[in-house]
């Protein structure tokens, strides 16, 4: 089974949804047959290289919240993260452009470190509160997952993996992705949002069963012909 996940490193529900899926997979009898592919999506494609506002200020503006309403939303998200086993310092995140972070993931994936890089980037944003548009920071994160930081900076200074990120984003538009996380199971079953662990486990079992049913459907003939 292949699961494609469109997500952004600036999306709290993407981090929570990722952890929920991992917890569901731990209970899934066929987890060893699951392949996960992360796909790029930018919530703030016009964001700059440095943070210019706080989480509270951004929520107040984006969702027309009062200061108290914004603080309540932040607390709710941090509590959701805590229940998922995550340390999320959402109030202190530094929101910047994430395009290069997505490029770094693509590069790490090409070197067999995609899963580790994806997790480290999420934790860097939500727990460590670093700016993911900073190349020195990205190089340091690459080094922490066992890659060469200088090679990471060389890659970032080039055009490498720009098209790969754009291809993910264009594909998201083609299939109508409006929000993330967005999960596609085996190219046919889609769901969005940070679903509960139990719901994801049920979906995993359903997709697996459907695949088994499909594999048991052989050639046959009827009164109208054979197929």
Q: Each residue of 168-186: pLDDT tens digit?
A: 999 999 999 999 999 999 9
Q: What is the sign of the dihedral through the CA atoms of 121, 126, 128 and 134?
A: positive
3-state secondary structure of 71: helix
Instruction: Give the tens place of pLDDT for each residue, 78-92.
Output: 999 999 999 999 999
Contacts of 97 (CB under 8 A, 6+ apart): 42, 44, 45, 46, 47, 48, 49, 132, 133
Q: Quick check: 222 pLDDT over 80?
A: no
Per residue in 4-29, pLDDT tens? 999 999 999 999 999 999 999 999 99
Yes or no: say if 96 and 49 are a contact pair by the CB < 8 Å rule: yes
End-to-end CA gap in the chain: 26
| pTM given for the model | 0.91
* Per-residue pLDDT at 223 exceeds 50: no
Indicate the burial class of 36 (C-beta count within 10 angstroms; 0-12, 13-18, 19 or more): middle
Can you identify the CATH homologous superfamily of domain 2-215?
Answer: Glutaredoxin (3.40.30.10)
94-144, pLDDT tens digit by residue? Answer: 999 999 999 999 999 999 999 999 999 999 999 999 999 999 999 999 999
pLDDT at 217 over 60: no
Question: Which phi and psi (to 5°) does residue 109 adopt?
Answer: -60, -40
Work out the mean pLDDT of the chain and round it to a whole number. Answer: 93
So where are the chain's domains?
2-215
Q: How many CB atoms lie within 10 A of CB 145?
A: 17
Compute the distance between CA of residue 44 and CA of residue 23 in angstroms, rounded to an integer.
Answer: 28
- Cα 65 from chain centre: 26
Q: How far apart are CA 179 and CA 194, in angstroms?
A: 11
């Amino acid at each position: 089974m292949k699961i494609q996940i469109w997500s952004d490193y600036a999306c709290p529900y993407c981090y929570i949804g990722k952890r929920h899926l991992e917890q569901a997979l731990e209970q899934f009898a066929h987890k060893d047959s699951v392949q996960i592919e992360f796909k790029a999506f930018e919530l703030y494609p016009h964001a700059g290289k440095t943070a210019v506002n706080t989480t509270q200020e951004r929520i107040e503006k984006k969702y027309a919240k009062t200061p108290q309403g914004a603080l309540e939303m932040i607390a709710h998200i941090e509590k959701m993260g805590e229940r998922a086993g995550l340390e999320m310092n959402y109030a202190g995140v530094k929101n910047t452009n994430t395009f290069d972070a997505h490029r770094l993931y693509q590069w790490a994936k090409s070197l067999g470190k995609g899963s580790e890089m994806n997790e480290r980037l999420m934790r860097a944003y939500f727990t460590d509160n670093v700016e993911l548009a900073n190349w020195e920071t990205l190089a340091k994160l690459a080094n922490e997952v066992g890659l060469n930081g200088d090679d990471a900076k060389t890659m970032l200074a080039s055009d490498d993996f720009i098209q790969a990120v754009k291809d993910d984003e264009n594909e998201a538009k083609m299939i109508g992705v409006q929000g993330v996380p967005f999960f596609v199971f085996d190219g046919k079953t889609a769901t969005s949002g940070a679903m509960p662990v139990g719901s994801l486990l049920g979906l995993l079992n359903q997709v697996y069963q459907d695949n088994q049913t499909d594999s048991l459907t052989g050639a046959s003939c009827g009164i109208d012909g054979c197929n």
